[in-house]
Amino acid sequence: MKRGRLVSLAVPVYFELLAGVVAGIIDVLWVAALGGAAVAAVAVATNVENVLLGVIMMAASGTTVLVAHAAGARDPGAVRSAVRGGWALFALVTPAVAVGGWLLREPLARLVLGGHEGDVLALTVGYFAISLPGVAVFFAQNLLDGILKGAGDTRTPMGLSFLGNGLILVLDPLLIHGLLGLPPLGVRGAALATVLGRSVALAVGLAALRRNRLLREAARADPAHGTAQALRRTAATGLPISGDFLVRMVGSLAMVAIVARLGVSSVAAYGIATKAMYVATMAFYAVRQAAAILTAHALGAGRDQRSAIGRQAVLTGGALGAGAALTLLVAAPWVMAAFGAQGEVAWAGTLFLRCLGPYLVLLACFIALGGVFQGGGASRQLVRVTLVGVAVQLPLAYGLSGWGLPGICSAMALSAALQCAAVAGLFLRLTRRREDSVRTRIAALR
């Protein structure tokens, strides 16, 4: 398999995934003038959205894999069932998350802030009061993107992400600072701008969904499975994928609580630095999604190309990780300055970004290679590796936090090394089993 095919799928996926990160970055930039407490509140609150992305990933990624597999098999009835199962799972999960999150917004804010009180707590709760009900739009948008990607269209989700972020960029100053006669809403305005921008992009995306040729053909076919069975298949396929991402994001939130022991300046620096880091890590997840789509499509067509796809995914992911590490090493001060960070916050964030190199390279290889497991239905192995990695990372971070943010970074790198080694071993075993199977079939023919 040529690397160009992987990259051509991954590039639009990257910009689509980056949309969520950019929305948070835009919010942080516009609230910077409101002070450190506002920056910390928005940075931490938008990190919670990454956890919620893991929840809807069960429906979105499960649908992507099933649609890609059905498309490879040229089975429109299976495509229709995969789409139906995704929407059914969305309808089951979304009300619980949106309503439950809104009701528990204050305890959630206390949890992610590590018990901090005062302005930062009140501002975080205010952001959650709007962003958590708005998760219904966020979930629908992610599922829609997942359907299109499974059908082989990664460019439309990219275009929708540009539309949504463009609207957020316009709405943020209007609603945060009260321009053009509007009342200044502060942190709440940032949350409202994000929900409104995404709502418009969702409406446009639903129209695009009806224009896709594969999906139009599937809509005329008899579904291969009933709704209940389709929901179960989507959940069974997507749950391990969701679990892997969710465990990683919950671990990131727990890291915020550990960093909070170092003080508000460290929390603000860590929040800004992780936003910059996500610009890189979303590229790794784009490679993973591209690898998963290619793997599922090939298996649906009766071809096992996991070895070739895995090698190209690791090479591409590793190159991206090395490039991101070098960029942050050189540009760290300018990155922090771009977010309006000053004084102790800027110094701590710069140091943290410059320490991230080994972590980023190792994480890139692990995440990229995981796409082969996801597309091939072996995601449960990834979840176990991630669980072990987080279980190692958190106590290490707690123990090394006495060294400040460099200690936190060291714990992250050690955990990533463990996970990378484990998934590489699993991949080699997978490759050997396939080669042994081929040799057995050849010997039988002789």
Kindly tell me if the per-residue pLDDT of 381 is higher than 70: yes
Question: Contact at 8 Å (CB) between 225 and 81?
Answer: yes
Examine the pLDDT at 250 and tell me if it is beyond 80.
no
Tell me: pLDDT of 441 over 70: no
Residue 225 has pLDDT above 90, yes or no: no
Could you tell me the residue range of the domain that residue 35 belongs to? 3-445
pLDDT number for residue 187:
83
Tell me the average pLDDT across 39-60. 79
Write down the pLDDT at residue 446.
41
pLDDT of residue 433: 62
> Quick check: 128 and 275 in contact, CB under 8 A?
no
Task: Please give the mean pLDDT across all residues of the chain.
Answer: 83
How confident is the model at residue 443, as a pLDDT? 42
Please compute, for residue 41, the number of CA atoms within 13 A of its CA located in the half-sphere on the CB side: 29
Asked if residue 403 has pLDDT above 80, the reply is: yes
Q: Is residue 87 predicted with pLDDT exceeding 90?
A: yes
For tokens 């998963």, the residue is: 292
Give per-residue burial for 354-382: e unless 16+ CB within 10 Å, then b.
Answer: bbbbbbbbbbbbbbbbbbbbbbbebbebb
Q: Give pTM, 2 decimals.
A: 0.76
Q: CB–CB of 146/59 below 8 Å?
A: yes
C-alpha 111: how far from chain center: 21
In the chain, the number of structural domains is: 1
**At 423, phi and psi to the nearest 5?**
-70, -30
| pLDDT for 119 | 76
Give the pLDDT confidence score for residue 304 in this predicted structure.
77
Q: What is the mean pLDDT of residues 221-231?
A: 86
Task: State the pLDDT at residue 383.
Answer: 84
pLDDT at 442 over 50: no
Burial (CB count <10 Å: 0-12, 13-18, 19+), residue 147: buried
In this predicted model, what pLDDT tens digit does every residue of 354-377 receive, in sequence order?
888 899 999 999 999 988 888 887
- State yes or no: pLDDT of 445 exceeds 60: no
153 φ/ψ angles, rounded to the nearest 5 degrees: -105, 100
Q: How confident is the model at residue 323 (pLDDT cuts 50, 70, 90)?
A: very high
Residue 408 has pLDDT above 50, yes or no: yes
**DSSP characters for 111-163?**
HHTTT--SHHHHHHHHHHHHHTTTHHHHHHHHHHHHHHHHTT--HHHHHHHHH
CB 102 within 8 A of CB 93: no
Instruction: Report pLDDT digits (tens) over 270-292.
Output: 877 887 887 888 889 889 988 98
CA-to-CA distance for 124 and 48, rounded, in angstroms?
11
What percent of the chain is predicted at pLDDT more than 70? 94
The larger pLDDT score, comparing residue 368 to residue 179, is at 368
pLDDT of residue 399: 87
Highest mean pLDDT among 7-16, 111-120, 322-331: 322-331
pLDDT higher than threshold 90 for residue 94: yes
